[in-house]
Amino acid sequence: MDWENKSNRCGSKGYTLDQLGKPLANIVEVTEQATAFMGACYGITTPTSSMTKIRQKLWAQKTGKSTAAPKLCSLPPTTEAFEQNVRRAHHQVAHWYSALSGDPPTLAAVEHGWEADDTNKRLIPRNMEDAVSYAPEHILKLVRCGCTSERACRGGKCGCNGRQLPCTMFCTCGGGTTCSNPFNITESATDHADIPDDSDEGNDRAMDVDDEDDE
């Protein structure tokens, strides 16, 4: 998708992001504005405050035109994931606006899509709020990896990581503190935020669902 041309066309149609980066702006209004803008970029102009609904509409459109399921990377994020992206963008743009002043905004990074990794003294992006599940439990039970080494889950060859899902107790790795899947909803995810390439060994997989991409 040509995002530059898409965004320019959306801007010419009245969709704006003028609240983004304003320190005093209400984050809910910033997110609603960003949702409408991104929806228009994807061709969805029906008013909605839910990125998930936009994702569902696009899924329906794509599956209606093809017998193959669309790639997840061609779809917008869910509402929960998008909110964290908007918070990070809002925080970053606010600092850009004040770059030439001596009074940077007081927006806290940990309240705007980032988590503090105290061990490594750095900030890592928060995918979603801790209380939000990446997928319904019955779906997590269907998808499980068979990674046998402690570090195998860090790469895209892991059945769960490759689908941007956390490892769970149903996986061979157990989804515990030794699992390196960065999508895990546990504190251990902060220790393994860097995702290397997919050349990991010891990654024998056992999937309960068909995976055409891995064949």
The confidence score (pLDDT) of residue 190 equals: 41
User: Is residue 116 domain-shared with residue 38, that is, in the same domain?
Assistant: yes
Is there a domain that residue 215 lies in? no
Same domain, 8 and 75: yes
Chain mean position to CA 47 = 23
Q: Does the reported pTM lie above 0.75?
A: no
Tell me if 145 sits within 8 A of 133, measured CB to CB. no
- Clarify whether residues 9 and 50 are in a common domain: yes
The residue among 125, 147, 169 that closes a domain is 125
Torsion of CA 75, 37, 34, 22, to 10 degrees: 150
> What was the pLDDT predicted at 1?
62
My answer on whether 114 and 139 are in the same domain is: no
Answer yes or no: do 146 and 76 share one domain: no
Same domain, 86 and 174: no
117 and 72 within one domain: yes
Domains in the chain, number = 2
Per-residue pLDDT of the chain in tens (215 residues, 90 and over written 9): 678 888 888 888 899 999 999 999 999 999 999 999 999 999 998 888 899 999 999 988 888 887 777 888 889 999 999 999 999 999 999 999 999 988 889 999 999 999 999 988 999 999 888 778 777 776 766 778 888 876 879 888 898 888 888 888 788 888 888 888 988 864 443 444 444 444 443 343 334 433 334 43
pLDDT of residue 204: 39
Q: For residues 39 and 137, state if they share a domain.
A: no
Give the pLDDT score at 5: 86
Do residues 120 and 138 both lie within one domain?
A: no
pLDDT at res. 168: 83
The reported pLDDT for the residue numbered 150 is 66
190 belongs to a structural domain = yes
Structural domain boundaries, residue 191? 133-210
Query: Same structural domain for residues 37 and 64?
Result: yes
